[in-house]
């Protein structure tokens, strides 16, 4: 509700139909992009840890 109030002032009375678009765009940028980027980096970190662990086990066996 806070960003809707700010965008309502910025857009003015004539462009209130764009308010929902701006709020959804703000929500996508601030929340969903962070979740997506975090998932990508977490996958890369887990993949590197798994690769390192498997290489260490193979060296100990060989």
pLDDT tens figures, 29-43: 889 999 999 999 999
* pLDDT value of residue 60: 82
State the DSSP H helix or E strand holding residue 1, giving kind and residue range, or none if neither: none
- In terms of residue numbers, what domain contains 23? 2-61
Closest Cα partner for 26 from 53, 58, 4, 49?
Answer: 4
Tokens 């498997």 found at: 54
* pLDDT value of residue 18: 82
Sites in the chain below the pLDDT cut of 70: 1, 62
* pLDDT value of residue 10: 79
Total tally of structural domains belonging to the chain: 1
């Amino acid at each position: 509700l806070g960003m809707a109030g700010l965008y309502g002032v910025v857009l003015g009375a004539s462009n209130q139909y764009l308010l929902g678009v701006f709020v959804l765009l703000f929500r996508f940028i601030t929340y969903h992009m962070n979740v997506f980027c975090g998932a990508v980096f977490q996958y890369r970190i887990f993949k590197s840890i798994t690769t390192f662990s498997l290489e260490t086990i193979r060296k100990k066996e060989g």
